[in-house]
Amino acid sequence: MSAGDRDDGPRTLKTVTMASRVIDAVRERGGVGVSELATQLEVSKSTAYIHLKTLEENGLLVQRDDRYELAFEFSVLGESARNRSPLYRYGKPKVDELADETGQYTHIVTEENGRGINLYQVKGETGVDGDYQSAKLQQRDHLHYTASGKAILASLPRDRVAEIVDRHGLPAQTANTITDRETLFDELETIRDRGYAYNDEEEIEGFCAIGVPVRNPDDDVLGSLSVSAPAQFMRDEQARERLSERVMRSANVIEVNINMSS
Amino acid sequence: MSAGDRDDGPRTLKTVTMASRVIDAVRERGGVGVSELATQLEVSKSTAYIHLKTLEENGLLVQRDDRYELAFEFSVLGESARNRSPLYRYGKPKVDELADETGQYTHIVTEENGRGINLYQVKGETGVDGDYQSAKLQQRDHLHYTASGKAILASLPRDRVAEIVDRHGLPAQTANTITDRETLFDELETIRDRGYAYNDEEEIEGFCAIGVPVRNPDDDVLGSLSVSAPAQFMRDEQARERLSERVMRSANVIEVNINMSS
DNA sequence: TAGTTCGTTCGAAATAGTCGAACGACCGAA
DNA sequence: TTCGGTCGTTCGACTATTTCGAACGAACTA
């Protein structure tokens, strides 16, 4: 084995980690062949082969057109994971409602391992078309350049935020992305005071968003509710004010519904 | 090892198969502890432990309240899997539309390994509330007792259907479920003639549904589009006729859109 | 037809997984 | 408080498993 064998923390099963890398490679490339995977993961063809076959036997991959792709089984597992989240269960109807009323893209985001995960989103009537919808839902995002992410960060203890920034950094996405640690902490302060996070074209040029945290009775943050709209729309102070009030109200209703259920 | 070591067909990685069983157990129980998993899978505590830890390290499980649960990562992978399906991409807007117009539950289903997978569904205005929605989306269903499933089976070659029936059987779900092989083949014939499948309370008592296959230019079936409604509603011949025409029309539009894209 | 590339199979070398015992932490009962 | 039970966790040793590379036929290209 190569020199730099890093300690993965606890003892782990290398074969399982390898399988996980296989799954990741299949997702990234949208399907792989045996030789291709062997090259990408730097293992022998026979190893790549047996991994793919094993995952296929277990229903996690399927062969389509001579390539191995992710099985729909993942969509079953994904639904299972989502549905355990009260934020998803109680938030989904509110997202539908908000998207309907505002006509804009509306999302629910939660945090996992320091990244934002888009649990659900709806494109409202006036929402711009394109690959935006499917692209976002497939993606784990950094938390510092989205309104949803910043809303979550603002509700997390300071040292947790520091930990996340250490781990994932603050890469720029547009010219407006916050890439400085101190600026970020100041921004989070502002968000706490104001009650909502504002994304000023920090992720996508021409797009702004408003994000509001959703908390449980113990004040742990479960995630956030957000609405994004063209910069043009958001530049109108009044519209923005109205919209933020609206999102805060919905987030609050979600919180109440979650609290009543437990 | 125990006596009955069956040949899994091709050579496979036992550690990966074990990991897959772990994931399945976690899903089934909605979260597990170390000892609990060890008992369920009949392995030592230390083995259960290292498997859970490895999957956690790889972002596939998370610890919540002293239990290991499925990570939202699965929801990312699931979206990825779904979005590769043209049936999903082109069918989703039509499902939304149909649910809106009919006010009933509307779904898109596809087949994988002889089972039906619910790719997307929407509860229309008049759709009954309850756990039905989330329950269905989490589930792989047998194909023989749903309208969507029968529509798919009717579009598959006869020997493929036989294979599926051999593998998964024809378990009864209600008194109306088709449990006899010959009856099923006759029904599939009827479906082909009629152009749509009808579920007459075969899955859930009080619920009927209409399912229509969606095929690609090569005449392979990609899945089906279906609408379910209370038995009361469906007993009205005229309503049923109108609805089936409507579903067939939408399915056809989906087909056309898919074909134009390739 | 010769030269690639692909996926697939196999035996043997080398690595990695499993077990069971043992520990400290935690919880509830006595 | 103290005891017995359970929990998750760690470790070394035995053993089973994974990995590799070579070799094959099929499919495709030149």
pLDDT value of residue B218: 86
Residues A182 and A114 in one domain: yes
Q: Looking at the structure, do residues B117 and B220 belong to the same domain, yes or no?
A: yes
pLDDT single digits (tens) B66-116: 999 999 999 999 999 999 999 999 999 999 999 999 999 999 999 999 999
CB B211 within 8 A of CB B147: yes
With a cut of 70, list the residues of chain B below it in pLDDT: 1-9, 127-138
* Residue B100 covered by a domain: yes
Domain match, B47 and B90 both: no
Residue B16: count other Cβ atoms within 10 Å of its Cβ.
24
Q: To which residue do tokens 């980690």 refer? A: A17
Domain shared by B50 and B98, yes or no:
no
pLDDT confidence tier of residue A3, bands split at 50, 70 and 90: very low
Condensed to tens digits (0 to 9), the pLDDT of residues A24-64 reads 999 999 999 999 999 999 999 999 999 999 999 999 999 99
Identify whether B153 is part of a domain. Answer: yes
Contact list in A for residue B76 (CB cut-off 8 A) is 78, 117, 138-140
Nucleic strand D interface residues, CB < 7 Å: A 10-11, 14-15, 18, 43-47, 50-51; B 1, 12-16, 33-36, 45-46, 49-50, 52-53, 66
Element (H, E) at A237: helix A237-261
Say what the pLDDT of residue B119 is: 96
Q: Does A235 touch chain B (CB under 8 A)?
A: no
- Domain-ending residue, one of A71, A90, A109: A71
Q: Which of residues 34-73 of B touch strand C (CB under 7 A)?
A: 43-47, 50-51
**What tokens appear for B186 in the block?**
């006759």
Q: Tell me how many degrees the CA angle A79-B139-B261 measures, rounded to the nearest 5.
A: 70
Nucleotides of D under 7 A from a protein CB: 6-12, 16-23
Nearest CA of chain A to the CA of B195: how many Å? 26
A32 and A147 in a single domain? The answer is no
Would you state the pLDDT for residue B6?
A: 44
Distance (Å, whole) CA B161 – CA B184: 10
Domains held by chain A: number: 2
Q: In this structure, is residue A6 part of a structural domain?
A: no
Among B12, B31, B75, beta carbon nearest to A53? B12
A89 neighbourhood in chain B, CB within 8 Å: 134
B43–A contact, CB cutoff 8 A: no
Supply the pLDDT for residue A15: 98
> Do B176 and B53 reside in the same domain of the chain?
no
Alpha helices for chain B (secondary structure H): 14-29, 34-41, 45-57, 73-83, 86-102, 132-137, 147-154, 158-168, 181-194, 231-235, 237-261
All residues at 6 or more sequence positions from B82 whose CB lies less than 8 Å from its CB, including other chains = A72, A75, B88, B119, B120
- Of the candidates B165, B246, B261, B181, the residue with the CA atom closest to the CA atom of residue B211: B246
Residues B110 and B21 placed together within one structural domain of the fold = no
CATH of the domain at A43: 1.10.10.10
* Cα–Cα distance for residue pair B5/B14, rounded to 1 Å: 12
For A17, the enclosing helix (H) or strand (E) is helix A14-29
A43 at B interface, C-beta within 8 A: no
Band of pLDDT at residue A80, cut at 50, 70 and 90: very high
Whole-angstrom distance, CA of residue A199 vs CA of residue B26: 37
Q: Do A17 and B54 touch (CB under 8 A)?
A: yes
Q: Could you tell me if residue B7 is inside a domain?
A: no
As a three-state string, the secondary structure of B115-129 is EEEEEEEECCCCCCC
Same domain for A54 and A85? no
* A92 and A26 within one domain: no
The CA distance from A211 to the nearest CA of chain B, in Å, is 20
> Among A71, A90, A112, where does a domain finish?
A71
Nearest nucleotide, CA A18 to C1': D18
**pLDDT for res B8:** 52
Q: What secondary structure does DSSP assign to A83-141, as a single string?
A: HT-HHHHHHHHHHHHHHHHH-SEEEEEEEETTEEEEEEEE--TTS--STHHHHHHT-EE
Which residues does chain A have within 8 Å of residue B117's beta carbon, measured at their own beta carbons? 72-73, 75-76
Contact flag, residue A53 CB and nucleic strand C, below 7 A: yes
pLDDT score, position B138: 57
- CB atoms B8 and A57 under 8 Å: yes
pLDDT confidence of residue A127: 64
Q: Are residues B237 and B254 in the same domain?
A: yes
Does B94 lie in the same domain as B63? no
Phi and psi angles of residue B130, each rounded to the nearest 5 degrees, phi first: 115, -170
Please indicate, yes or no, if residue B34 is contained in any of the structural domains.
yes
Q: Specify the pLDDT at position B246.
A: 97
In a domain, B142, yes or no: yes
Model pLDDT for residues A229-253, shown as the tens digit of each residue: 999 999 999 999 999 999 999 999 9
* Nearest-by-CA chain A residue for B18: A16
From first CA to last CA, the distance across chain B in angstroms is 51
Q: Which residue of A has its CA nearest to B9?
A: A57
The pLDDT score that the predictor gives to residue B139 is 79
Asked if A130 contacts A184 with a C-beta cutoff of 8 angstroms, the reply is: no
Residue A209's domain spans which residues? 81-261
* Residue position matching structure tokens 């269960």: A89
Tell which of B22, B57, B74 closes a domain: B74
Nearest to B188, CA basis, from B204, B164, B167: B164
Highest mean pLDDT among A9-13, A72-76, B136-140: A72-76
Q: Does A139 touch chain B (CB under 8 A)?
A: yes
B4 domain residue, yes or no: no
> Model confidence over A205-230: pLDDT tens digits?
999 999 999 999 888 999 999 999 99
CA distance A248 to chain B (A): 25
Does residue A248 lie within any of the structural domains?
yes
Q: Is B71 in the A-facing interface, judged by CB distances under 8 Å?
A: yes
Number of separate helices (H) and strands (E) present in chain A: 11, 8
CB contact under 8 A, A59 and B15: no
Beta-bridge partner residues of B200:
B208
DSSP character at residue A249: H
Give the residue among B103, B84, B106 at the shortest CA–CA distance from B95: B106
If we measure between CA atoms, which residue out of A251, A185, A181 comes closest to residue A221? A251
Q: Are residues B153 and B135 in the same domain?
A: yes
Is the pLDDT reported for residue A183 higher than 60?
yes
Nucleotides of strand C lying closer than 7 angstroms to a protein CB: 5-11, 15-22
Rounded to an integer, what distance in angstroms lies between the CA atom of residue A46 and that of residue A44? 5
For residue A146, the distance in angstroms to the closest alpha carbon of chain B comes to 18
Instruction: Report yes or no: A30 at the B interface, CB cutoff 8 Å.
Output: yes
> Torsion angle of alpha carbons A177, A168, B81, B198, nearest 10°?
-70
Residue A69's beta-bridge partner residues? Answer: A62
Q: Tell me the per-residue pLDDT of A115-141, one tens digit each, with 9 for 90 and over.
A: 999 999 998 877 665 555 555 555 789
**Res A6: pLDDT:** 43
- Across A129-159, b (16+ Cβ under 10 Å) vs e yields eeebbbebbbebbbbbbbbbbbbbbbbbeee
Selecting from B27, B53, B62 the residue whose C-beta is nearest the C-beta of A80 gives B27
